[in-house]
A = this chain, B = another copy of it.
Amino acid sequence: MRGREMEKLKRTDRLVVLSALLTKNPNVLFSLTDLAALTGAAKSTVSEDLTIIKEVLSGFSLGELCTVSGAAGGVLYRPKEDADGIKAFLHELSEKLSDPERIIPGGFIYMIDVIFDPQITSRIGEIFYTKFQHTDPDYIVTMETKGIPIAMMTARSFNIPLVIIRDSGRVTEGSSVNINYLSGSTRRIQTMSLSRRALSANSKVLIIDDFMKGGGTAQGMLNLMQEFNAEVVGTGVMIATRDPKEKLIKDYTALLELVFIDESKKNVVIRPFEAKK
């Protein structure tokens, strides 16, 4: 009896440590050998534990465990969100942002409290991961400043490096590639700059940003990526405005849509984005 209790204790211990380690480290590959050594169990036993964890996480919509076979194989945790969870979260976020108190002179919306909140940015990172996982990027690319927190959290979900395009070359990052672009919102020529070392040749990049109006910044990032021979596999923005309907780039995924803002009437409407035909 004592022995069986000990055995039960070990399995419960292993389930706790494996669940915590895997879900704390999204898309980090752990080899079965290392996990067996860590928990003091046979690889076959750890495999059984992982089967239990996989089923439970999936049943509670907490993400996926994925087994990678082969010599460099192991197991990793994919922080995928399910469709219902995404829908409910984006609905809640829309309500939060559609608050007249957020309107700022000039027709802007104050939202840094939302896009710098760690729980919200973590969820957004997982949602972008879910939507773009199939594109298999090597880097997440954003432009400073406000998009950095959600881009960082997206990079965390993918477990790939973040690359930040600057609005001017910085001496502390060495030689850089600079391009000029026309910002859709300010209608002014601006510069964006990226260190030559920031991207490996022939990389696949996913662009993530907080806001898109005309698409000028996104178009500029696309052009800059061409200078690095990088392939843009997707563009994700948290909020896109309904107007102008024609953006400078066609292929993007928005989570929310800014439908309407009227400064004088103190009225703003933000909704979950629905893709048009």
Pick the contact of A57: B20, B117, B122, B152 (CB < 8 A): B20
Cβ of A116 within 8 Å of any chain B Cβ, yes or no, is: yes
Given A118-B159, A148-B149, A162-B116, A171-B106 contact (CB < 8 Å) = yes
Given A116-B162, A116-B164, A166-B145, A152-B121 contact (CB < 8 Å) = yes
Given A152-B121, A161-B117, A173-B112, A20-B21 contact (CB < 8 Å) = no
Pick the contact of A145: B17, B122, B145 (CB < 8 A): B145
Question: Contacting chain B: which of A22-30, A87-95, A215-223, A260-268?
Answer: A22-30
CA distance A28 to B24 in the complex (A): 14
Give the residues in chain B near A118, CB-CB below 8 Å. 152, 155-156, 158-162
Interface size class of A (residues with CB under 8 A): 35 or more
Question: Contacting chain B: which of A6-14, A230-238, A269-277?
Answer: A6-14
Cβ of A104 within 8 Å of any chain B Cβ, yes or no, is: yes
Cβ of A119 within 8 Å of any chain B Cβ, yes or no, is: yes
Pick the contact of A152: B79, B113, B153 (CB < 8 A): B153
Chain A residues numbered 145-183 whose CB sits less than 8 Å from any CB in chain B: 145-146, 148-149, 152-153, 155-156, 158-164, 166, 171-174
CA distance A164 to B121 in the complex (A): 15
Give the residues in chain B near A28, CB-CB below 8 Å. 119
Cβ of A253 within 8 Å of any chain B Cβ, yes or no, is: no
| CB <8 Å contact, B174 and A104 | yes
- Nearest-neighbour CB distance to chain B for A240, whole angstroms, equals 15
User: Chain B residue with minimal CB distance to A103?
Assistant: B174
| CB <8 Å contact, A16 and B105 | no
Given A20-B20, A121-B152, A159-B118, A198-B112 contact (CB < 8 Å) = yes
Cβ of A82 within 8 Å of any chain B Cβ, yes or no, is: no
Cβ of A144 within 8 Å of any chain B Cβ, yes or no, is: yes
Cβ of A197 within 8 Å of any chain B Cβ, yes or no, is: yes
Q: Can you identify 16 A-B contacts, CB atoms within 8 angstroms?
A: A8-B8, A13-B59, A16-B52, A16-B53, A17-B57, A19-B20, A20-B60, A24-B62, A108-B171, A108-B172, A113-B197, A116-B162, A118-B162, A144-B144, A146-B172, A149-B162
